Copies of this chain bind each other. A is one copy, B any other.
Amino acid sequence: MRRVPVREPAELVPLREATGQKLWVDVQGLDDTATLERVARIFDIHPLALADAVNTPQRPKADTYGEQLVLVTQMVRPDAAAGMTVEQLTIVVGRDFVVTLQDLDYGDVLDPVRARLAAGKNALCARGSDYLAYAMVDTVVDGYYPVLEALGERLEAVETEVVGRPTPELLRAVQRIKRELLTLRRSLWPQRDALAALTRGDSTVVAAETRLYLRDCYDHAIQLIDVVETYRELATALTDAYISSLSNRLNEVMKVLTVISTVFMPLSFLASLYGMNFRHMPELETTWGYPALLGVMTVVAGGMLVWFRRKGWLGGP
């Protein structure tokens, strides 16, 4: 396995023509249309396939153009700021070559494939271009696992907080997670469909043996979709939990208000009553009037508190 940096499409012609070799052309950067078209001409890539590669983002898919198979996939990677980045990788699989097209700025997830090729002496080197393409797709699909795990951890972090302290920030966090799950879903479903089409296999490019491996890859895609759907249901449950947590809080606040009001309103009324200036109020003249009233007030307040305790309004929600 050799690795050759190429600056001019013309340099690809001799490599293309060298028979008995498997060729991987890794095109990075999609802005230089003229160069891309020259590459496409060298490898007989259909104009529609090239258009799909360049006009990102396309929906992931597996298309057959004559003898060639064109896979449009999406690579995801965790990203500190935005949660994750999604980038398109187009894989053109011919009989004895693979052309990958991707944008320049992001880097990709194919380093494990490059490492295995550099190591040499393994299935990846021995088998055909279809197996190489499988290895790429497999790496792309496996790249969803760490992103989903990070999302799962964020969901759990939100969950432990949402019942204790329901803040609007939490709700926004849930909705950010929901949006990322929607993005992953929109990306995974068509990849699943494309893999299913490859596994059923009407393309002559993919060998029967490689189909077994693609079936495995397809199983992983389904497993990922299962996880995404489960997380979506959990996120929906979190929104419910948030709203009912708010209701709980409101209940608690209202209970405090009601307890305070209910205890002090009758007491204040009694105090106001004996603050009246009627000339003829015999209770006011007695010595025991004041302490007796204080006693009555204590009994009233105590009775209220007992009532509330019975209703379960004191101590705890």
**Which A residues have a C-beta under 8 Å from some C-beta of B?**
46, 48, 51-52, 58-59, 61, 63, 65, 163, 165, 167-168, 171-172, 175, 178-179, 182-183, 186, 190, 212-213, 215-216, 219, 222-223, 226, 230, 233-234, 237, 239-251, 253-258, 260-262, 264-269, 271-281, 283-290, 293, 312-313, 317
Contact = CB atoms under 8 A, between A and B. Distances in A.
16 contacts: A59-B223, A59-B226, A178-B233, A179-B234, A182-B230, A239-B240, A242-B244, A247-B247, A254-B257, A257-B258, A261-B261, A267-B269, A268-B272, A274-B277, A279-B285, A280-B286
B285 A168 contact: no
Contact of A241 (B171, B186, B233, B281): B171
Contacts of A279: 284-287, 289
A241 B175 contact: yes
Contacts of A48: 212-213, 216
By secondary structure, the A interface counts as: helix
A290 B274 CA distance: 10
B248 A247 contact: no
Contacts of A265: 260-261, 264-265, 268
Contacts of A63: 215
A246 B249 contact: no
Contacts of A253: 251, 254-255, 258, 313
A277 to B, nearest CB: 5
Contacts of A273: 271
Report, nearest first, the 4 A-B pairs whose CB atoms are least far apart: A271-B272, A274-B276, A264-B265, A275-B275
A269 B267 CA distance: 7
B281 A271 contact: no
A126 to B, nearest CB: 14
B286 A290 contact: no
Contacts of A222: 59, 190
A206 to B, nearest CB: 16
Contact of A290 (B58, B244, B278, B313): B278
A131 to B, nearest CB: 13
A269 B264 contact: yes
Contacts of A257: 254, 257-258, 261-262
A210 B122 CA distance: 40
Contacts of A312: 165
A272 B287 CA distance: 19
A59 B253 CA distance: 47
A142 B194 CA distance: 23
Contact of A219 (B61, B175, B215): B61
B186 A230 contact: yes
A284 B275 CA distance: 12
